[in-house]
Structure 1
Amino acid sequence: MYDGAGCGLTTAIIGAGPAGLTAAYELLKHGGGSHRPLVFEAGEIVGGIARTESHEGYRFDIGGHRFFTKVGEVEAFWQEVGGADFVTRPRQSRIYYEGKYYAYPLKIFNALGNLGPFRAAGIMASFARSRLRPYKEEENLEQWVSNRFGRQLYETFFKTYTEKVWGIPCTEIRADWAAQRIKNLSLSKAVWNALTGANDTASLIEEFQYPRLGPGQMWERCTEKVRERGGEVQLRTAVTRVLRDGDRVTAVETEGPEGERRTVEADHFVNTMPLRELIEMMDPPPPDEVRAAAAKLKYRDFLIVTLILDHPDPFPDNWIYIHSPEVQVGRIQNFRAWSPEMVPNPDHASIGMEYFCHEGDGLWESTDEALIAQAGRELEQLGLAKASTVIGGKIIRQPKAYPVYDGEYRAALDTLSGWIDGLENFQSVGRNGMHRYNNQDHSQLTAMLAVKNILGEHHDLWTVNVERSYHEDFTTEEKTKRQEQGPMNGAAAVPTR
């Protein structure tokens, strides 16, 4: 048994993704030398969903991670930890729909040329109707998007792709997902941006920073710094049980790479594993209503087929959204467009074909050979490259990539967050640790606030990325009032309890 004796206060951190490693780094930076983090990661690579995998020298991002944020603390962290490795990349992306490619962000003449004047007029008429007769309540994604863009544009550009990603109808996806993910964007603003070249929305940035060797390079650097300062990051070490005594967590049990088991006591605990798994590992178990709530949480899984082509890049985009239902691929990445150093051979291309699925379904269970062949066929069907040019590939399956915002999740999450907040020395952060579809920067912010709580402050982690300042309808007057009340660190004010 390891009890951290002689090390001051010990914090056990479950998971070495962006949130877990941020917590470890911040503890060492701000803990005055009296806090030692112990990070336990079940996988072989740090970075979680933001890790960088490799195959025969080709490096690839699991899901596309731009380094762009309005959160000042996170921006400072990125520059401090990995700023020397950043390259600034232009954003270029398109939507494939009904056999045509649409520039995204919207380019007005491209869109009008593809849609045709009659369809474009119909979309604008539909938008006008949505302003005159909006849905009075916005309970689901369909209602939320239709109110802001009109029903016709929703059916043209939102419905097919969103249902491909989530595997459920848009009427079953809660409106708060849209409010969180399609921030600060409306049809009128998108058209204005297209006409003027202006761009003041989080969804439509034109350039971003990116580590030259992929997002995992940031978390590899962070791991090095944590270890240099006396923290531990243990890979291939899974947490299998979380032990508690009443409202206080006392230890975690771990299983190492050779099957060895340990009990690790600590003063504080920070979790990033999925809440459903966490509740199942609690010993003694939480109350029945908490366990029942955890069982209601659902996830969407994901796999990426990285294809190596025997010719240079078939398209210049960072990624293309595939709205067409005729193919299963949902998004396609061009890794050289993220960073030239991701692709070691200038005469080859590295293309990531992303598929959204459920663990155990037909796509997930397909052999690697079958998936590579399917990805090659669909690449050709989309007119991007011939299947015969595929000379290699690599499959990565990522379970629980996306927390699902269905009709049951909100009540279940309220129950879970209330019970977790009742634990004296335990906090849950990050995307899966909060069952919230956060971006990387918001996941990091929850970890930073958790560290501040450990050091004696009082912050409500559950309000990160749901405050009014993140929402599309946050008014100038409200923003001015908020700024007069205190500094915003370049983003939303840090939430307090």
Structure 2
Amino acid sequence: MSFDPPKTVSNPSSNDTACERELMILGGGPAGLAFGHFARKAGLDFQLLEASPRVGGNAVTFVEDGLRFDSGAHRFHDRDPAMTREVKELLGADLLECAIPSQIYHQGRFVDFPLSPLNLFRVLGLRASLGAGLSFLKAHLTHRGEQDSFEHHAVRAYGRDIANRFLLGYSEKLWGLPGSQLCPSISGKRLKGLNLRTFFLETFQGGQAKSAHLDGRFYYPRLGFGMIAEKLAASCGADRVRVNARVTGLRHDGRRIHAVEVNDSEVLPVERVISTLPLSLTARLLASSLPTEVAEDIASLKFRHVVLVALFLNRTSATRVGSVYFPDPGFPMTRVYEPRNRSAEMAPPGRTMLAVEIPCDAADAVWRQDDGELVRFVAKKLKSCGWFREDELAGGCVKRLPAAYPVLEAGVKARVRRIMDALSQFENLTILGRSGEFRYTHMHDMLRVGHDTVASLSSQQP
């Protein structure tokens, strides 16, 4: 990913006259907003700076032609009860509880996601299922030792056959690298139901056992996932949140950051900095005081862009699921979702839309492709799924999301750790967030980290 050339400014000037803030939050995405929300509740003074004209980062809801859609197939999972209560307090009756399964589109058929052994048997047929079973047993006998790559992990856990069908090709599309070059951690908890125990439970108990491992229950805001970011921003307070404020320099003495330079001109004195900016950007802003040996680590960090194509449809419904995943290489997209399946108020009566995610790099042609061409191309591909007719397509639009995902290459944890260790010399710098910490996190994770970090800082107050 490319950024505007950053400035590192040492020896802060004594002529800076702006009022010093106790905390300066860099970045108005979910991590920055979560920290600000809990900082306000704790009575801490802060200012939040966001480079773009709006807050929310990649947790935003767009509105086009009366249709609402998020910047991804976002969901809020009840994985941290305390953070779930926090979101419920913020949204009240606007937070809906959903129970919608997801699917995989594979060779013209729909497969349950996460993978269900009994459903796989029904979809693949006897011969293919036996082959997948033998592959599974072989992998457990031969793939031993440390799981140093996602490919090793996937084959070891599910067998070469299933890994090739549903995991490796999909992950390469998503991250832009083959599974042999990706961290095992990118798998998360997906496909956790694919095992012999679940197969027998499904066989003898049916849907009751199947529902126990399918990841279909979550919370969702009535008017889109962006409502969470909007409520967090409102909680921070309009006077504490500033947009169109790009961080272009950090003034420091090699031990402490004394001021933040904004838009190449304004200097804001600070007591403590909370950075949710991309880790590579934070490091480059402070590069003059970092060991030269971490320069290669900083340059190696990569982010994946996403092209989001929205198709507007003149029909009430297109699918019945939360998301549909596309591992097959013949489809450029990785995931498609229909917003109205999460909340009926995402589309007016008689209309719906499909949001299509296409991960890419800045050098890829799709990142620069004409919007109209993209809409027509995606519509032609998805029409084969049977979701809509040609005469029901009522246009579309394209949104480009830079740096949507940190690319978790094999070995990246060690590189990130070395960068973090180097940045730890700045005693008043805290790094948070998906891009800041360079790890794949969810909204409940960012709320938890924001809460715990504020609690830690508050305990240090005199």
Partners of 2:352 and 2:201 in 1: how far apart?
32
Partners of 2:145 and 2:160 in 1: how far apart?
14
Partners of 1:70 and 1:193 in 2: how far apart?
25
- 1:76 to 1:422, Cα distance in 2 relative to 1, 3 A: farther
Match of 2:452 among 432, 449, 453: 449
- 2:265 aligned with 1:250: no
Match of 1:297 among 287, 298, 301: 301
Q: 2:19 corresponds to which residue?
A: 4
Q: 1:78 corresponds to which residue?
A: 87
- 1:107 to 1:199, Cα distance in 2 relative to 1, 3 A: closer
1:257-406 alignment, distance < 5 Å: 261-282=265-286, 284-343=288-347, 345-406=348-409
How many residue pairs match? The answer is 443
1:12-411 alignment, distance < 5 Å: 12-30=24-42, 33=43, 35-178=44-187, 180=188, 182=190, 186-188=194-196, 190-191=198-199, 194-195=202-203, 196=205, 197-198=208-209, 204-227=214-237, 232-255=240-263, 261-282=265-286, 284-343=288-347, 345-411=348-414
- 1:199 to 1:108, Cα distance in 2 relative to 1, 3 A: closer
Partners of 1:129 and 1:281 in 2: how far apart?
50
- Which amino acid letter does the alignment assign opposite residue 292 of structure 1? E
The 10-residue stretch of structure 1 (78-87 or 105-114) with the greater mean CA deviation from structure 2: 105-114
Tell whether the 8 Å contact from 2:104 to 2:111 is kept in structure 1 after alignment.
yes
Tell whether the 8 Å contact from 2:103 to 2:323 is kept in structure 1 after alignment.
yes
Other structure's SS at 2:237 match? helix
Tell whether the 8 Å contact from 2:245 to 2:262 is kept in structure 1 after alignment.
yes
- 1:213 to 1:243, Cα distance in 2 relative to 1, 3 A: same
Tell whether the 8 Å contact from 1:123 to 1:150 is kept in structure 2 after alignment.
yes
Q: 2:9 corresponds to which residue?
A: none
- Which amino acid letter does the alignment assign opposite residue 312 of structure 2? I
- Percent pairwise identity: 26
1:422-441 alignment, distance < 5 Å: 422-441=425-444
Partners of 1:250 and 1:186 in 2: how far apart?
53
Partners of 2:80 and 2:386 in 1: how far apart?
39
Tell whether the 8 Å contact from 2:309 to 2:396 is kept in structure 1 after alignment.
yes
Tell whether the 8 Å contact from 1:310 to 1:391 is kept in structure 2 after alignment.
yes
Other structure's SS at 1:48 match? coil
Structure 1 position 139, deviation (Å)? 0.7
Structure 1 position 10, deviation (Å)? 1.8
Structure 1 position 185, deviation (Å)? 5.3
Other structure's SS at 2:45 match? strand
Tell whether the 8 Å contact from 2:96 to 2:221 is kept in structure 1 after alignment.
yes
- Which amino acid letter does the alignment assign opposite residue 35 of structure 2? A
Tell whether the 8 Å contact from 1:244 to 1:283 is kept in structure 2 after alignment.
no
- Which amino acid letter does the alignment assign opposite residue 24 of structure 2? A
Tell whether the 8 Å contact from 1:97 to 1:322 is kept in structure 2 after alignment.
yes
Partners of 1:122 and 1:128 in 2: how far apart?
10
Partners of 1:85 and 1:189 in 2: how far apart?
39
Q: 1:473 corresponds to which residue?
A: none
Partners of 2:211 and 2:321 in 1: how far apart?
21
Other structure's SS at 1:53 match? strand
Tell whether the 8 Å contact from 1:420 to 1:427 is kept in structure 2 after alignment.
no
Alpha-carbon displacement from aligned partner over 1:327-349 (angstroms, at most 9, x marks no partner): 21211110100111111x21111
Q: 1:463 corresponds to which residue?
A: none
Structure 1 position 388, deviation (Å)? 4.2
- Which amino acid letter does the alignment assign opposite residue 214 of structure 1? G
- Which amino acid letter does the alignment assign opposite residue 229 of structure 2? W
**RMSD of aligned residue pairs (Cα, Å):** 2.3
- Which amino acid letter does the alignment assign opposite residue 253 of structure 2? D
- Which amino acid letter does the alignment assign opposite residue 456 of structure 2? N
Partners of 2:102 and 2:210 in 1: how far apart?
15
Partners of 2:332 and 2:175 in 1: how far apart?
12
Tell whether the 8 Å contact from 1:243 to 1:283 is kept in structure 2 after alignment.
no
Structure 1 position 96, deviation (Å)? 0.6
Partners of 1:64 and 1:140 in 2: how far apart?
26
Structure 1 position 76, deviation (Å)? 2.5
Partners of 1:270 and 1:187 in 2: how far apart?
43
Structure 1 position 320, deviation (Å)? 0.5
Structure 1 position 156, deviation (Å)? 1.8
Structure 1 position 397, deviation (Å)? 0.7
Other structure's SS at 2:223 match? coil
The 10-residue stretch of structure 1 (104-113 or 166-175) with the greater mean CA deviation from structure 2: 104-113
Partners of 1:421 and 1:22 in 2: how far apart?
22
Q: 1:484 corresponds to which residue?
A: none
Alpha-carbon displacement from aligned partner over 1:417-469 (angstroms, at most 9, x marks no partner): 112233211111110000101122222222223222322369xxxxxxxxxxx
Other structure's SS at 1:316 match? coil
TM-score scaled by length of structure 2: 0.90
Q: Which runs of 4+ in 1 moved over 3 A?
A: 1-5, 105-110, 180-186, 188-196, 198-201
Tell whether the 8 Å contact from 1:273 to 1:432 is kept in structure 2 after alignment.
yes
Tell whether the 8 Å contact from 1:244 to 1:250 is kept in structure 2 after alignment.
yes
- 1:332 to 1:42, Cα distance in 2 relative to 1, 3 A: same
Partners of 1:421 and 1:23 in 2: how far apart?
20
Partners of 1:308 and 1:12 in 2: how far apart?
41
Structure 1 position 3, deviation (Å)? 3.9
Structure 1 position 200, deviation (Å)? 9.0
Q: Which runs of 5+ in 2 are unaligned?
A: 1-15
Partners of 2:141 and 2:170 in 1: how far apart?
27
Partners of 1:92 and 1:2 in 2: how far apart?
56
Tell whether the 8 Å contact from 2:115 to 2:191 is kept in structure 1 after alignment.
no
Other structure's SS at 1:76 match? helix
- 2:429 aligned with 1:414: no
TM-score scaled by length of structure 1: 0.84
Q: 1:494 corresponds to which residue?
A: none
